[in-house]
């Protein structure tokens, strides 16, 4: 309810957070109402790297990696999770970008550079037809069958990610139609603290598909039923969309043999 003694009722979240932030090592007093109790807590400021990637091994050596957003720390966290699953003997991989709103283009293309063979990852084109390409090198670490989970809140960089893997035939896309944000935006700050955000170009998948305003349909449509079931071996609780991805990979592994 208060930050450093200032009442924050009615303030926007960004304004409240900006009052909490400050030089590393300094402290700020937060007043928190918890039930009938009012607490004053001194919090020491420090740099926090959010955990945006998590990985674990599911049944039948199927790896599972969830990416909640493509930010600066995502690349290292993804590489660590991917390497760890490979060391454990991963035979197939599910990458979950459901609810991932996007983030930094350089982060998602760096991850795709590791997963894709040599070639085009994504390209941007402005209103004058000027085209800028981002390409991957010849190294490709994705040598197991893969499925990518998406939904209506998978947007922007998540769609770059899913679209590239789909275009190269390296992953089956499972879930529901994605959000449909296929534009590149830039921002400009003014001296008075305001700013302007504007669209500079559209982005396209390697096959030249722009999904802005429409999203793209998954290869296998599976609507979430909200129910969780436990896997037989690992005991992890998964929903019906993850189960659909496991079924897809089981079939892919059998055909591979």
Tell me which residues are annotated as active site.
156, 167, 181
Q: Can you list the positions of beta strands (E) in the chain?
A: 2-3, 6-7, 27-34, 37-44, 53-57, 62-67, 92-96, 119-125, 131-136, 146-150, 172-175, 183-189, 195-204, 220-221, 228-230, 237-239
H helix runs in the chain, sequence order: 13-20, 74-87, 105-115, 157-167, 240-256
Three-state SS at 102: coil
Long-range pairs of 77-82 with CB within 8 A, sequence gap ≥ 24: 77/51, 77/52, 77/53, 78/53, 78/111, 79/114, 80/53, 80/55, 81/53, 81/54, 81/55, 82/55, 82/114, 82/141
Task: For residue 107, give the DSSP letter.
Answer: H
Instruction: Select from 135, 220, 211 the least CA-distant residue to 172.
Output: 220
CB contact at 8 A, 172 and 219: yes
Task: For residue 138, give the DSSP letter.
Answer: S
CB contact at 8 A, 174 and 219: yes
């Amino acid at each position: 309810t208060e930050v450093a003694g200032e009442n924050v009722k009615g303030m926007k979240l960004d304004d409240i957070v900006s009052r909490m932030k400050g030089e590393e090592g300094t402290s700020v007093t937060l007043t928190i109402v918890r039930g009938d109790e009012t607490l004053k807590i001194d919090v020491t400021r420090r740099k926090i790297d959010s955990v945006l990637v998590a990985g674990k091994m599911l049944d039948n050596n199927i790896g599972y990696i969830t990416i909640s957003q493509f930010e600066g720390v995502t690349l290292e966290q993804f590489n660590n999770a991917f390497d760890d699953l490979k060391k454990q003997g991963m035979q197939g991989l599910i990458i979950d970008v459901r609810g991932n709103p996007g983030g930094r283009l350089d982060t998602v293309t760096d991850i795709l550079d590791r997963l894709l063979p040599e070639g085009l990852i994504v390209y941007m084109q402005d209103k004058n037809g000027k085209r800028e390409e981002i390409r991957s090198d010849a190294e490709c670490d994705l040598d197991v069958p893969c499925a990518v989970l998406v939904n209506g809140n998978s947007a922007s960089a998540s769609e770059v990610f899913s679209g590239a893997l789909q275009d190269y035939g390296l992953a089956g896309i499972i879930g529901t139609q994605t959000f449909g944000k296929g534009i590149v935006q830039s921002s400009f700050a003014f001296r008075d603290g305001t700013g302007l955000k504007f669209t500079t170009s559209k982005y396209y998948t390697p096959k030249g598909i722009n999904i802005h305003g429409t999203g793209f349909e998954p290869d296998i449509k599976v609507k979430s039923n909200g129910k969780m079931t436990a896997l037989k071996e690992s005991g992890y609780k998964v929903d019906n969309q993850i189960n659909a991805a496991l079924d897809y990979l089981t079939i892919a592994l059998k055909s591979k043999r």
